[in-house]
Structure 1
Amino acid sequence: MNQFKKPETKSCPNILFVSTFQAQFIESDFEILKEKFKVTKLSGNGLIHVLRLMLACFKHDIAFCWFASTYSSIVTLIMRTLHKKSIIVIGGVDIAKDEKLKYGIWINPWKALLVKQAIKLASVVIVQSEEINKRVKMLANYDGKNIIILPTAYDTNFWQISDKPKLNYILTVALCNDKKRLLIKGIDILLRTAEILSDFSFIIIGINDKVIKGWNIPSNVQVISAMERKSLLKYYQEAKIYCQPSRHEGMSNSLCEAMLCGCIPVATDVGATRSVLNNTGFLVKPEDPAELARALKLAMELKADMSSIRKQVEKYTIVYRKEKLTEIIFSL
């Protein structure tokens, strides 16, 4: 399924937009779809949400589900039974299986079975990169014939390189409201790396003060709470290096936003990160502070080619995603 063209005679379908929580990247797809289609958004969890989803399936032509979950599995099964179409967009947690951190839907046997069937039954499964494509096929143990690779979109007009020179500090952005999230995002690894690179300055944005309380924060690390994107833009534009030390990722929004602002990327080889960097910056093994420190040191010595770094991501525009999502939906 590589080419999608809008049939001239096909009517505009009603779309059920499903998610378990709100996030900017999810909202972006909702805004894209509602420009061209009649879209009903249902976001939530629990038994009442399940009942709402089940009833909504009867009233809509296509279900568009963000994340492979127990909720999307129910929706996909009902839509298939009703001879209707469904789309599942794979994120990050839905390709994770980390027994040690107890992270990812695949560590639960019955949820894994539901998600596996949902992926196979869906009319289309959208993934963000070839790495995630392979991961989904491995976890679901199938040929992946319904998979389409379509990267997440970014506001390339907002995330811009500044005219001001870069400052020599290392930036990490990770929304962390609990200890597990800190570990998923590799913040513990980053702090150990900062101890090695005691002459370097680090700024970490997005961590709740209560979560980090009691942790040993090196003196060269500044921790800042989450902020609106207008405030965040300044840090992306200032920082010479963006570091993503994650143990797990899908296609990291923060990494892509930082690259759009010309930051040299230093990131762990997880999720879609290899495709995002595409031989730009430094790719390292996860959970290795020494290797991460070496890469950051090398990055700090470079003169950043900000335009080349930006070009790796600026192709992932909202216009492109809108065009492709429209083609996919009209192809069903």
Structure 2
Amino acid sequence: MPEKIKVAYVFPGGSSFIHQDKEILEKNFSVKCVNVGTKKTNFIQKISIVLKMVREIAWCDVSFAWFANNHAYAMVKLSKALGKKSIVIVGGFEVAEERDFSYGGLLNQTLKKRIKYILKNADQIISVSKFSENEISKIYKSNNTKIIYNSVDTNKFQVGPEKENLVITVCMVNQDNIFRKGLNIFVDCAAYLPETRFVIIGKWMDEAIQDLKAKAPKNVEFTGFVSDEELIKWYQKAKVYCQLSFHEAFGVAVAESMSCECISVISDRGAASEVAENTGFIVPYGNPEATAEAIKKALISTNGPAARQRVIELFKTEDREKKLIEVCQSL
């Protein structure tokens, strides 16, 4: 029996999609992890992380990073120095340059140089959508970029017993997301549909929750943090899922909701429309009145089964697993 490929998995924190890829890699390869975290580190902590990275990259055959940020820059440089292959998944923020919203890795000149180095020197760049691939190509055009969509466990995100006249959106509630995720638009369009229940699902991170509650009509609710099990129940109950962002490199929550047969109402910015395509309704970013009209149509739409079928055909976890295995084995 051939020896398993050894993979050093370098990642920040524990987002669901990062954990999902960790499970895929551990199922198929010999894996050692370097969790660089999401909080600022002091000098001693930075040295400890770098030493661990050196040790695991020296051990591995392939290094693998989520997000083309500083940790991936260090990983790619170390991999080249140690003669190892490297794979980097671009999440989206790194290659965004939204000056009107002060959003994107390319707005930081030091990080921009490091992102360009990663795109040029990693053996394989993985994009999570065609939209993101296009943004990558504006910075550095090469033959080493491959699209592998983010994925959903369609056995976990199943159809519920009955849908309600319920409109939801899912994200952390903070000042940045009021505009980036369109929470302000979501709240504003609820006023056009006073008999319909609107719910914002997600952890409250700062004073943004007070700002949203102050302007929200009575038909808007805020859940705070919910467990994965509770989130699935919300998807199963809701008829409509809104993603009204000015930038989405993919839209995992859109795909999760579609797997539970929600109808998507999504902005015309970013990759969310690529995920939902003609199973949902696309609206101009920042237009509450047009969004409310689309929600009215979505509430009576029968596209739920088609939305779930699209996820099964394009975004199921088994397909992502197969493609990640192929990439690791090809280097």
Query: Would you say same fold, with TM above 0.5?
Result: yes
CA distance in 1, matches of 2:142, 2:188: 39
Shift of 1:115: 0.7
Identity across matched positions, percent: 30
The change in CA–CA distance for 1:51 and 1:290 in structure 2 (over 3 A counts) is farther
CA RMSD in angstroms comes to 1.9
Give the AA of the match of 1:276: V
Shift of 1:118: 0.3
- Whether contact under 8 Å (2:203, 2:226) holds in the other structure is no
Give the AA of the match of 1:180: D
CA distance in 2, matches of 1:196, 1:51: 56
Aligned counterpart for 2:25 among listed residues 33, 44, 54: 33
Give the AA of the match of 2:20: S
**For 1:36-115, what aligned pairs fall within 5 Å after superposition?**
36-45=28-37, 46=41, 47-48=46-47, 49-115=49-115
The change in CA–CA distance for 1:211 and 1:50 in structure 2 (over 3 A counts) is farther
Q: Which residue of 2 aligns with 1:211?
A: 208
CA distance in 2, matches of 1:27, 1:57: 20
Give the AA of the match of 1:169: L
Shift of 1:294: 2.2
Q: Which runs of 5+ in 1 are unaligned?
A: 1-8
Further displaced range: 31-40 or 72-81: 72-81
- Whether contact under 8 Å (1:14, 1:62) holds in the other structure is yes
Q: Which residue of 2 aligns with 1:175?
A: 172
User: Per residue, is there more helix in 1 or in 2?
Assistant: 2
Q: Secondary structure at the match of 1:223?
A: strand
Q: Which residue of 2 aligns with 1:16?
A: 8
- Whether contact under 8 Å (2:254, 2:276) holds in the other structure is no
Encode CA deviations 1:119-162: one digit per residue, 9 max, x unaligned: 11111111122111111111x2x223111111112111011112
Aligned counterpart for 1:306 among listed residues 283, 304, 307: 304
**For 1:197-236, what aligned pairs fall within 5 Å after superposition?**
197-208=193-204, 210-215=207-212, 216-236=215-235
Further displaced range: 91-100 or 275-284: 91-100
Shift of 1:117: 1.1
Matched, 1:156 2:154: yes
Matched, 1:278 2:270: no
CA distance in 2, matches of 1:10, 1:86: 21
- Whether contact under 8 Å (1:207, 1:223) holds in the other structure is no
Aligned counterpart for 2:184 among listed residues 188, 191, 197: 188
What is the TM-score of this pair, normalised by structure 1? 0.90
Encode CA deviations 1:263-317: one digit per residue, 9 max, x unaligned: 11111133321221121111122222222222112222x3323211101112322
- Whether contact under 8 Å (2:96, 2:135) holds in the other structure is no
Give the AA of the match of 2:304: M
Encode CA deviations 1:163-214: one digit per residue, 9 max, x unaligned: 32x11121111122x3113322110111122223333321111041753114
Shift of 1:10: 7.2
Higher RCO, Cα 8 Å, sep 6+: 1
